[in-house]
Amino acid sequence: MQLPQTVEVKEIRVLTSKQIAEEYAKTYAQLEQGCKENEVSTSVLSDQEVIVKLKTQPDSIPVLQTNLDTNAFFAEQTAKILAAKPKPKPTVGDDKNKKEEIPAKKYPTQVALSTRTTLPIGSEADVDKYLAQLKKQLMAHIDKGETVMIIK
């Protein structure tokens, strides 16, 4: 006979493993869309089943709860997508037939925005104030000539 506490721990483990699988499914959907938008094969991505199995394997509930966070995995996979993205080739030709050269795109800088707030958000003005802080962080990069990709 199993003790009630043991049953609860197993249920928590099963529930957390299910949540991990759901979070990685959402993350993979975003990554697959990123592959499509960047004209990259999804084969550059790590295998979803293997990752989910790896993340749901631990018996420790705190480790499982930590594995719910997909941000680092998303950033790693996004870097793979960007590295595999086809580079535009500059055109060549004589002066008469020379086509306009397309400058190679710069890779986006991956940024993690500080999204914490100490004030509750309860009105449109509060939302505007919060979004203004996010915009300020983004513009600091854009003003330096960077393109950004938000990873967190």
CA distances to 35, 88, 90, 149 from 95, in Å:
37, 21, 14, 38
Element housing 144 (H / E): none
Q: What percent of the chain has pLDDT over 90?
A: 49
- Residue 130 pLDDT exceeds 80: yes
pLDDT digits (tens, 9 = 90+) for 28-53: 999 999 899 889 999 999 999 999 99
Higher-confidence residue of 95 and 109: namely 109
Mean pLDDT rounded to a whole number for the chain: 84
Q: 148 Cβ partners below 8 Å, 6+ apart? A: 108, 109, 110, 111, 138, 141, 142
Least confident of 17-21, 75-79, 96-100, 120-124: 96-100
Element (H, E) at 19: helix 4-37
Q: Tell me the per-residue pLDDT of 47-102, one tens digit each, with 9 for 90 and over.
A: 999 999 999 999 899 999 999 999 889 988 988 988 888 877 665 555 555 555 55
